[in-house]
Amino acid sequence: MNTISTNLSESQDQGPSLSPKQIVLRSGKVKPFYSHHPWVYPKAIDKILGSPKLGDEIDLLCPKGRWLGRGLWDDQSRIRARLYSWNPNENLDRNFWKRRISQAIELRKMLKLLHPNTGCRLICSEGDLISGLTVDRYGNSLVAHISSLPLFHRRDLFCQLLSEILEPDQIYVRLDKEISKEIGTSDHLILWSGTDRETLSIEENGILFQVQIRTGQKTGFFLDQRENRALVSQLSYGKKVLDCFCYTGGFSLSAAKGGATSVLGIDSSTTAIELARTNARINNFHQIDFQKSDCFTKLNELIAKGERFDLIIQDPPKFSHSRDSIQSALNGYRRLYSLGLSLLQDHGLFIVFCCTGNIQESMIEEVLMLAAREAKRDLRILYRLGPTADHPVFLGCPENRYLKGFVCQDMK
């Protein structure tokens, strides 16, 4: 590490690679950055030197002037800077980004995930040290999801590099709502290269899935659940299955593939249910019934009818988007789990997921215990689940460990 002065004229003499635009941290806000945490929030900043503009390279300094990292400035975001390098002699140029992208692709090659007609996460934001950029691969088509304005302004560079390395048929760029609003467009999906296609197709664990990238959530499919869907398939033989928040049928079809006698899939999205039915049809799964409904409402209806299921899956969307709403989210999970447990057969399997990043695994485990107590159930945990290896978790940024799951069994 280099120690430099917070005076601009002095700092420029310390080394040729140091940026003239700098963030000086407040006392007491340094510790996360020793572990290379990539996000710099306003409350951590003491002063800003050099009048940076949106997208400028900027260096992060501790209060005593020690260099900590290099990133991109974004005064339009609650994350004022995202850090990408912890080498003071490394500029964020084309060669830098090509190296980062190539390293991410090499991991997926090592994991043997680049087979034709399959899907995987090619770049996983913080997990690949490119905070604000995710790229999903569907066969030979790529969908880049950008959640940072400085990276959006570099989209052509990223797409050019992806095109050079992989030669995909199409590259789409998907924008966060905030970025679409900032740049003044209502279109959240941009075709960067190739021929536009409404629907892409992949094969996963012997099941065919159609993916609608324009109308679907995220990039169209929840690739992080691939191994968890395979586990559900293994556990489903001969069982009556309930899949809550089924989206386009990932868990439902996996249960059918594994030999479930019947599957009920519930989701509130008409578009998702229609695509789920299409996916069931093209795979010749006739034991699945997909119904459009609010899941809480439907669970109460099923309880009133006296229904019971051998295996229940609950994979809801985020219940919390900020720390202020964590308790409200936990209350929601508790209510959801209580309803689900009321529908579970004795000795049944209860599988739950939480994709809310600011809720820890221990919180979900405690809520499960409380819900089990309310339902007069004794649960044991068989598996603790997370995302697939193409969604790596960077230890320096624990917030990106968003997906937590449990496979529980009733012990009656």
CATH code (residue 112): 3.30.750.80
> Which secondary structure element, helix H or strand E, spans residue 228, and what is its range?
helix 226-235
Angle separating helix axes 326-342 and 361-374, nearest 10 degrees: 40
> Do 116 and 169 fall into the same domain?
yes
Q: Is 271 helix (H, G, I), strand (E, B) or coil?
A: helix
Give me the CATH number covering residue 289.
Answer: 3.40.50.150
229 within some domain: yes
If you search the block for the tokens 């095109």, which residue do you land on?
163
Q: What does the block give as tokens for 121?
A: 């996460």
> Do 55 and 188 fall into the same domain?
no
The whole-angstrom separation of Cα 206 and Cα 277 is 17
108, amino acid identity: R
Q: 53 is in which domain, residue-wise?
A: 8-85
> Do 135 and 253 fall into the same domain?
no
> Do 248 and 369 fall into the same domain?
yes
pLDDT in tens, 118-171: 999 999 999 999 999 999 999 999 999 999 999 999 999 999 999 999 999 999
Last residue of a domain, one of 153, 182, 197: 197
pLDDT in tens, 241-282: 999 999 999 999 999 999 999 999 999 999 999 999 999 999
pLDDT in tens, 365-384: 999 999 999 999 999 999 99
The whole-angstrom separation of Cα 18 and Cα 123 is 28
Bridging pattern class, strands 262-267 and 288-292: parallel
The whole-angstrom separation of Cα 143 and Cα 89 is 32
Which residues of the chain are modeled with pLDDT < 50? 1-16
Domains: count for the chain = 3
pTM higher than 0.85, yes or no? yes
Q: Is the CA virtual torsion 99, 133, 219, 293 positive or negative?
A: positive
